[in-house]
Amino acid sequence: MLKIKDLYAGFDGKDILQGIDLEVKAGEVHAIMGPNGSGKSTLAAVIAGKDEYEVTRGYITFENEDISELDPEERAHKGIFLSFQYPVEIPGVSVTNFIKTAINETRKAKKQADMPAAEMLKMIKEKADMLEIDRKFLSRSLNEGFSGGEKKRNEIFQMAMLEPKLAILDETDSGLDIDALKVVANGVNKLKSEDNAIVVITHYQRLLDYIVPDFVHVLMNGKIVKSGTKELAYELEEKGYDWIKEELV
Partner 1 sequence: MTKYTEDDLKKELETKEYEYGFYTDIESDTFPVGLNEDVVRAISLKKEEPEWMTEWRLEAFRYWLQMEEPNWANVHYEKPNFQNISYYSAPNKKAKYDSIDEVDPELLDTFKRLGISLDEQKKLAGVAVDIVMDSVSVATTFQKTLAERGIIFCSISEAIRKHPELVRKYLGTVVPQRDNFYAALNSAVFSDGSFCYIPKGVRCPMELSTYFRINQGGTGQFERTLLIADEGSYVSYLEGCTAPSRDENQLHAAVVELIAMDDAEIKYSTVQNWYPGDKNGKGGVFNFVTKRGLCENRAKISWTQVETGSAVTWKYPSCVLKGDNSIGEFYSIAVTNHFQQADTGTKMIHIGKNTRSTIISKGISAGKSQNSYRGLVKILPNADNARNFSQCDSLLMGNSCGAHTFPYIEAKNKTAQIEHEATTSKIGEDQIFYCNQRGIETEKAIALIVNGFGKEVLNKLPMEFAVEAQKLLEISLEGSVG
Ligand X SMILES: Nc1ncnc2c1ncn2[C@@H]1O[C@H](COP(=O)(O)OP(=O)(O)O)[C@@H](O)[C@H]1O
Residues at the contact surface with partner 1, assessed by CB under 8 A: 48-52, 68-73, 76-77, 81-82, 84, 87-93, 97-99, 101-103, 105-106, 109, 141-142, 158, 162
Say how far apart CA 46 and CA 42 lie, in whole Å: 6
Residue 205 interacts with Mg ion (CB under 5 A): yes or no: no
Q: Least distance to Mg ion from the beta carbon of 159, Å?
A: 18
Residue 87 interacts with ligand X (CB under 6 A): yes or no: no
- Nearer residue to partner 1 within complex by CB, 158 or 202: 158
- Hey, is 246 helix, strand or coil? helix
Residue 64 interacts with ligand X (CB under 6 A): yes or no: no
Residue 41 interacts with ligand X (CB under 6 A): yes or no: yes
- Nearer residue to ligand X within complex by CB, 38 or 96: 38
Residue 181 interacts with ligand X (CB under 6 A): yes or no: no
Q: Least distance to partner 1 from the beta carbon of 217, Å?
A: 22
Say how far apart CA 11 and CA 152 lie, in whole Å: 27
Q: Give Cα separations from 157 to 101, 105, 126 (angstroms).
A: 14, 17, 10
Residue 172 interacts with ligand X (CB under 6 A): yes or no: no
**2-11 β-sheet, strand order:** 14-24, 2-11, 54-62, 65-66
Residue from 39, 149, 164, 213 binding ligand X (CB under 6 A): 39
Roughly how many angstroms between the first and final C-alpha of the chain, as a whole number? 33
Q: Which helix (H) or strand (E) holds 78?
A: none
Residue 37 interacts with ligand X (CB under 6 A): yes or no: yes
Q: Least distance to Mg ion from the beta carbon of 36, Å?
A: 7
Residue 38 interacts with ligand X (CB under 6 A): yes or no: yes
- Nearer residue to ligand X within complex by CB, 38 or 158: 38
Residue 42 CB burial class (10 angstroms; 0-12, 13-18, ≥19): buried
Compute how many other C-beta atoms are within 10 angstroms of the C-beta atom of residue 168: 28
14, amino acid identity: K
From the list partner 1, Mg ion, ligand X, none, pick the one residue 17 interacts with, judged by a Cβ distance below 5 to 8 Å according to partner type.
Answer: none
Compute how many other C-beta atoms are within 10 angstroms of the C-beta atom of residue 62: 20
Q: Which residues bind Mg ion (CB under 5 A)?
A: 40-41, 85
Q: Where on the chain is the footprint of ligand X (CB under 6 A)?
A: 16, 34, 36-42, 52
